[in-house]
Amino acid sequence: MSNPHARNADLALLHPVFRTKVSEVLAALANEKVPFKVFEAYRYPERQADLFAQGRTTPGNIVTYAEPWRSYHQFGLGVDFVLFIEGKWSWDTAGSKKGWWKRMQEIGRECGLAPLDFELPHMQLGGTSSNALASGLYPADGDDSWAENLDAAIMGWAGNPAAPARPQVAQRPGIA
């Protein structure tokens, strides 16, 4: 498991159904020369706790309302697409860039991803809910890469709120 407090953009840790859709979005955007990259993919609960603490029990502004295990990032089902221009991340929405953000969300929707209101960068897998995920109800067809990482995150978490159920082996694809 990589540093659980650091930002992580490794698509291999995403649920494979979601990973495929994210890759499709990236390919479609690249095809249209719209310069988005994945800024953050899997987020460990430790980092979510760090973010949640900010502006509450640690210095800074509030940056999230999502506690650990309340963010789709903790389940490998959420990513943040951000413009990457000349080696720099950009959230710029001025001029033509406004259209790029709109196009990213359009393509995301076409590929089966769901945006959140007032959060341009964030896209997540549709058809599930925070409550279902917190109850351990995960999308089917998870693979080893996703399940092993999620399992390690669950087993390594001793904070509050409590971790959800471990992913079931039966949810993984069978051995060919």
Partner 1 sequence: MKHRCAAALLAWPLLAGADSGVPAAVATVVSGGYWQAEGRSGSYRVVVALRGFETVGSRVIVEWVAGPKTADDAAAVVAAVEPALPEGEPVTWTANLQRVLPGCVRITLRGVNTMLPSQRSTRTVWALAPGQIELSEARSAKPPAACRGAAR
Q: Considering beta carbons, is residue 118 or 170 the nearer one to partner 1?
A: 118
Q: Considering beta carbons, is residue 114 or 143 the nearer one to partner 1?
A: 114
Cα 2 to Cα 88: distance, rounded to the nearest angstrom: 24
Return residues touching partner 1 (CB under 8 A).
Answer: 39-40, 60-66, 71-73, 78, 80, 82, 89, 91-94, 101, 116-122
Q: How far is the CB of 111 from partner 1 (least distance, A)?
A: 19
Q: How far is the CB of 170 from partner 1 (least distance, A)?
A: 29
Q: Which residues touch 76 (CB under 8 Å, ≥6 apart)?
A: 13, 14, 15, 18, 19, 41, 42, 146, 149, 150
Q: Considering beta carbons, is residue 93 or 160 the nearer one to partner 1?
A: 93
Residue whose tokens read 């979601």:
18
Radius of gyration (Cα) for the chain, nearest Å?
16
Q: How far is the CB of 25 from partner 1 (least distance, A)?
A: 17
Q: How far is the CB of 45 from partner 1 (least distance, A)?
A: 14
Q: How far is the CB of 90 from partner 1 (least distance, A)?
A: 8
Q: Considering beta carbons, is residue 74 or 149 the nearer one to partner 1?
A: 74
Q: Is 168 exposed, middle or buried (CB count within 10 Å of its CB: 0-12, 13-18, 19+)?
A: exposed
Q: Considering beta carbons, is residue 81 or 138 the nearer one to partner 1?
A: 81
